[in-house]
């Protein structure tokens, strides 16, 4: 019976630089592509954003950060129109600054 150890038997013959490059390559394969939004989606997000700011409701924001999508839940503190950034106070009380161009979705959250 042949017992194959997979990558373990090859790593002894590889340089550390090659092993690092292979690990980086595997990590890059898990990256998600940033999606482009159409005008209807942007309008719906704008309405949700205005409603959440007016009535101080919690929102769930999906945004693109470090090659992946993340979800932040909290209340909108401030929207900087000049810098195109959204200031959000999340449920733990920490402030987060999210660039508007990285936002993929805004929904009202249930608390």
- CA 58 centroid distance within chain: 18
Is 16 contained in some domain?
Answer: no
Domain count, the chain: 1
CATH of the domain at 92: 2.30.30.520
Closest to 71 measured CA to CA, from 31, 33, 109, 40: 109
**pTM for the structure as a whole:** 0.74
pLDDT digits (tens, 9 = 90+) for 3-42: 666 666 666 677 888 889 888 888 888 888 888 889 999 9
Is 67 contained in some domain?
Answer: yes
Do residues 76 and 26 lie in contact, with contact meaning Cβ atoms separated by under 8 Å? Answer: no
The whole domain housing 99 covers 39-108
Is 26 contained in some domain?
Answer: no
Is 71 contained in some domain?
Answer: yes
């Amino acid at each position: 019976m042949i017992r194959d150890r997979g990558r373990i038997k090859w790593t002894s013959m590889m340089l550390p630089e090659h092993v690092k490059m292979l690990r980086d390559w595997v990590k890059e394969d898990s990256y998600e592509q940033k999606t482009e939004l159409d005008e209807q989606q942007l309008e719906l997000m704008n309405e949700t954003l205005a409603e959440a700011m007016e009535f101080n409701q919690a929102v769930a924001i999906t945004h693109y950060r470090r090659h992946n999508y993340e979800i932040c839940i909290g209340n909108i503190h401030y929207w900087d129109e000049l810098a195109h950034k959204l200031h959000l106070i999340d449920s733990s009380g920490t402030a987060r600054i999210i660039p508007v161009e990285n936002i993929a979705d805004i929904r009202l959250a249930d608390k």
